[in-house]
Amino acid sequence: MKKICIILSIALMVIAACQQIPKTVPVDMEAEKAAVNDLFEKFNSAINNQDVTTMASCLSEDALLLGSDPSEFWNKQQFTDLWAQMLADTVPEVNYISEREIKLAPDGNSAIVVEQYMWPYFTPKIAWRNVYHLVKNDDQWMIYFFSCALIPKNEDFQKLNEAME
């Protein structure tokens, strides 16, 4: 019995040692950043052109999308319906206050994107921040997660708290 265990153990070690180590393919980070940036140019252009279909094509089917209110948790269809309603009458004026920030994962298969802007229609004095998590499936970048938040300046917190009383 001991001989069988020893022989089996040796056989398993030999099999494990003979496995080929998968080769990692180097990722062209600049090309991936450019592809992510292109997706956002397409996404934002679709909003400006009131093209909800193109905007929705940038979202993964199982995307989780969060608004600025704690109750706003949407799936792709709910988010698309909301934007169709918002864009039916007018295109929102958005004034970007910083450059788009793109942070790629080392494996090149996911990314974080941050955009900050003023949205005068809703809050002429408080900035907004959108944070996106993207995943790459079949060489195509898709928005998998989105969160929108108001980002008041730190020195304005006391004024906001007092105004809310």
3-state class (DSSP) for residue 49 = coil
- Looking at residue 155, what DSSP letter applies? G
Residues contacting residue 55 through CB under 8 Å, at least 6 positions apart: 43, 46, 47, 80, 83
Q: What pLDDT is stored for residue 1 in this prediction?
A: 67
pTM, two decimal places: 0.82
- Domain positions in the chain are 27-163
Q: What pLDDT is stored for residue 15 in this prediction?
A: 72
- Residue with tokens 């398993």, as numbered in its chain: 12
Amino acid (one-letter) located at 126? I
User: In which band, very low, low, confident or very high, does the pLDDT at 12 lie, cut at 50, 70 and 90?
Assistant: low
Q: What pLDDT is stored for residue 25 in this prediction?
A: 73
Query: CATH topology for 27-163?
Result: Nuclear Transport Factor 2; Chain: A, (3.10.450)
